[in-house]
Structure 1
């Protein structure tokens, strides 16, 4: 990666579906965001992270399903996510899957809103046995939305926060580095990760071929 042509900071949107305050879900989201910023900084790229706490717009999300209308507060949250260069999405585990609030937020987005957008996935739960939620639930969801998920997803069980070894921290650092690798080229080019490539009209391509002949 190179930052020589970087024109603006990378914009990260951090979506946390934690229900309590403070929450382990928000704590994991913050650590993933910081790991991404550190990895970008090492490449000379600055980053800004904005947090969307879904519990703060839960009522607005429910109203959107009933009325089909997003009020100003929900629109702001949606725009923060859709206009970001990269997304960090973290949910608590409920009934062996992502929470209903988490799913509901992504259900109100336009079906193409996350196409091509780099995303780092995270989840929290009481025990390690729920860690596969990242692969059997979250990754398929974002694949359906055509987002580009980082290879490493991070699950945090209760014991991980008190672990004496550095495996948990290494997983977070690796995941942040992967997201940084996905978003930095877009920042260097000054483009959105979902920007459409320039298309040369067929007539121009044909004319060029005739000149070469």
Structure 2
């Protein structure tokens, strides 16, 4: 089972990466729980792959100009396309996802996320921007035909308090709830139609014969 984490934080370190790490830890902990029902999919979990979009910013821009991703960007695209589940985290700028975050998903094939479970999350300076997850980020993945978990996790600046308070505890609860929802989708979803189609290989001769006009 392959879990890919896409994080669009621009600084090093960033609260966006911190939120991505907490979500990843919560999901992998639940996937590794021996008491959790395994469902119809394989239980083996590959170490999560983290894609830092700040490292691919120039590659993404070049892909728009040339029409072709370079090898480093292609590796990231392939990882997302082949993933069983995705955690996608973006900072919120001007009431929406970051341009880098949107640009990365723009270079994906429009069928790459079809039927794929996705947990969406975001960070921002104030809780007033929390609805950006619902009016901007969720519609983006709905358009890409991903299966987005019901709980979207937003972390404002005040959520990173050092002690146990209402804000910090509330963030922890949202993280655990979203992680549980993503884990349930990963463990219980049926094999995708894409995977079933990939198992059927039609010989090239048969493909040519189908193109010939009838005698």
Q: TM-score normalised by the shorter chain: which range applies?
A: 0.7 to 0.9
Provide closer, same or farther for how the CA distance between residues 34 and 193 of structure 1 changes in structure 2, counting only shifts above 3 A.
farther
The correspondence of residues 167-178 of structure 1 with structure 2, limited to 5 A, is: 167-178=170-181
Deviation per residue, 1:147-195 (Å, 9 max, x gap): 0000001000010010623221011011001000111135xx7x55853
Query: Hey, what's the Cα distance between the residues in 2 that align with 1:41 and 1:148?
Result: 22
Q: CA deviation at 1:37?
A: 0.9
- Distance in 2 (alpha carbons) for counterparts of 1:193 and 1:185: 15
Partner of residue 86, structure 1 = 85
Can you list the C-alpha shifts for 1:53-100, whole angstroms capped at 9, x where unaligned?
001010000000000011000000101111110000000001100000
Alpha carbons 1:117, 1:194 under 8 Å: kept: no
- What is the root-mean-square deviation of aligned Cα atoms in Å? 1.9
Partner of 2:28: 37
Q: Determine if contact 2:115/2:192 at 8 Å carries over to the other structure.
A: no
**CA positional deviation for 1:41:** 1.9
173, 178, 186: which one aligns with 1:183: 186
- Aligned pair count reads 187
Gap runs ≥5 in structure 2: 201-215
Check conservation: 1:90, 1:123, Cα contact below 8 A: yes
Q: Which residue of 2 aligns with 1:210?
A: none
Cα distance in 2 for residues equivalent to 1:88 and 1:74? 18
What's the counterpart of residue 203 of structure 2? none
**Alpha-carbon distance between aligned partners in 1 of 2:57 and 2:142, rounded to the nearest angstrom:** 24
1:23 maps to 2:41 = no
Determine the structure 2 residue equivalent to 1:164: 165
Q: Provide the TM-score with structure 2 as the length reference.
A: 0.82
Q: Which has the higher contact order (CA 8 A, sep 6+)?
A: 1
Secondary structure of 1:18's partner?
coil
What TM-score do you get using the length of structure 1 for normalisation? Answer: 0.83
Unpaired segments ≥5 residues, structure 1: 1-9, 200-213
> Whole-Å Cα distance in 1 between the matches of residues 22 and 51 of structure 2?
15
Per-residue deviation, 1:146:
0.1
**Pairwise CA distance, 1:23:** 0.3
Give 4+ residue runs of structure 1 displaced > 2 Å after superposition: 44-48, 191-199
Match of 1:195 in 2: 195
- State whether residues 27 and 179 of structure 2, in contact with CA within 8 Å, keep that contact through their aligned partners in structure 1: yes
Distance 2:184 2:123 in 1: 24
1:106 to 2:105 alignment = yes
